[in-house]
Amino acid sequence: MTELPAEVDLTAEELVGRIKGDTLTVTINRPEKRNALTADGYHGIKRAAMIVADEPALSFLVITGTGETFCAGGDMNAVGNDDRRWDSFTDAYDVTPFETLGKIPKIVVCAVNGTALGGGLVMSLYSDLVIASDRARFRVPDLTRGVYEAFIAARIPQRIGTLRANHLIYGNDWIDAAEAERLGLVGRVVAHEALAAETEALLDRVRQTGPTARAAMKREMARALPAVDVAGYWSSMGTQEQIEAFTAFLRKRPPQWSVNSERDAFVHTRRPAWMPPASISEGNENR
């Protein structure tokens, strides 16, 4: 059997890939940007997943981060990065690694060392096992960015229930590690200093199960999951709403949402059913 290298080039500066035994560990190492991923970074995680899927000697992909953040999602300042190594133009519809994590026949583990939001949270939703530091915090900020996050919509209600998912998605609240475990967003919470050791202990328990049976179990459980509306996700990019949201975020101001007036004529015909005539007249004068 071919001996695998200890270090793996994942074609992204922010990713450190290391193989030890049957495990490829990917560490997101960009603490100055809260471990936000560039397009290269997202592609690198997908690359790691495919390496683990291909190699007979590898059984696990572990994703973790450095510092106080697991992953803050995609870096909105790096969209036009001319130094990227991966052609994100031609693979636009397949830009994210999320579905790949759920499809490979090997076990994917998120060891959440700190803050997880956006794409960081999504990676955990498409992983098979999620173990979190007691310092971890979670949030779904995508709607505040004007993005229809189809990957979250397709998984988080199944994970924690629709009503709880609604509170996270629409309420935009932070939750801590203990609450995430109570809701079922993570499988286990451990002391921050013990995260690496507890992750390895978890893998040791999984190693007692049959690899072929594990792959079949993962495949069968995935059949019950809803398809992801990737086309809808992509269509929410580049809209006026999304551009306004990103601009507001980068300029550190509240977004100024526009009101859709495409149905004004239709709505006007319905107002007499509930509005006082005087109000309708005043509204017409102000148009």
Q: How far is CA 230 from the centre of its chain?
A: 13
- pLDDT, one tens digit per residue, over 152-197 is 999 999 999 999 999 999 999 999 999 999 999 999 999 999 999 9
Give the closest residue to 134 by CA, choosing from 111, 154, 151: 111
- Considering the entire predicted model, what is its pTM? 0.90
Report the distance separating Cα 168 and Cα 213, nearest Å.
34
**CA diameter of the chain:** 84
Structure confidence by residue, pLDDT tens digits, 212-265: 999 999 999 999 999 999 989 988 888 999 999 989 988 999 999 998 888 888
CA atoms within 13 A on the CB side of 105: 12
The two tokens of residue 4 are 């695998």
Query: Domains in the chain, please, with CATH?
Result: 7-235 (3.90.226.10)
Asked whether 187 and 125 are in contact (CB, 8 A), the reply is no
Residue corresponding to tokens 């939703």: 125
Q: Which of 257, 218, 14, 261 is nearest to 104 (CA)?
A: 218
Structure-block tokens of residue 28: 């997101």
